[in-house]
Amino acid sequence: MKILVLVKQTPDTATKVKISADSKSIDQTDTKFIINPYDEFAIEEALKLKTKIGTGEVVVASFGDESAKEFIVKGLAMGGDRGLWISNAGFENADGLVVSKIIAAAIKAENANIVFCGKQAIDDDNMHVQTMTAELLGWPHVNVITKFDINGTVARVEREVEGGQVEIYDVQLPAIFGAHKSLNTPRYASLPGIRNASKKPFDSKKPADYGVSSMAPKTTIKGFKYPPEKPKGKLFQGEPVDVMVDKVVKLLREEAKAL
């Protein structure tokens, strides 16, 4: 059983996003990056599955620049067996479809049985790379899973839907699954795990190694802009409640246009 986990580096949620001077990109000079939080649940589920089966290999993979290696190593420190870094050199402007084609080619080359990833990345929130990857492979795909079990070559998963309802799927492997935060509780990397992470096998690849030499993106970013600043709030005090209510209703009707 080969289990491949896709991880992405994303800005820390506490990072203040800065737009570059030309408004065409994000200024990452002072940006702190982390493993996409949902991907940590994917790593944990892969490790749990390997323990349950009693055999297999957990490969932690990422497509990105050199800095992505750091977060692959963190996945290895948690318990992954091998790292796989796919360089984005020459593909810095790749859109979701281009990334999906590269990842799909890598998954084929790895001959993986199961692919885990986070349900979405917290930076762009597009939530579509895993879906397109599964479509390119012709594999089943279930996202936002909250429970995972396996019996032979069939996985039974549960996923949350609106209204508190739960959907249950029996999925023939190989398949791709997107992890939700209620799937498990990610473990912390132990001190021995951190020490041994750099000694584990680590493969560095280029898209060309998978037969992808060049590919024009279907979508391009035209520019970024900050959201408009929220107007200052108004404080009412020292007046009778009925007078304040009338003033609030008037503001909601005439200024906020909410009524």
Model confidence at 227, pLDDT cuts 50, 70, 90, reads confident
pLDDT given for residue 101 in this prediction: 95
Entry pTM = 0.86
The pLDDT tens digits for 52-86 are: 999 999 999 999 999 999 999 999 999 999 999 99
Model confidence at 256, pLDDT cuts 50, 70, 90, reads confident
Residue range 41-57: mean pLDDT, rounded? 96
Residue range 163-175: mean pLDDT, rounded? 94
- CA dist 46 and 94 (Å) reads 27
Model confidence at 51, pLDDT cuts 50, 70, 90, reads very high
For 99, list phi and psi in degrees, rounded to 5: -60, -40
Model confidence at 221, pLDDT cuts 50, 70, 90, reads confident
Of residues 155 and 28, the one with the higher pLDDT is 155
Q: Is the pLDDT score of 218 beyond 90?
A: no
Residue whose entry in the numeric block shows the structure tokens 């649940």:
41
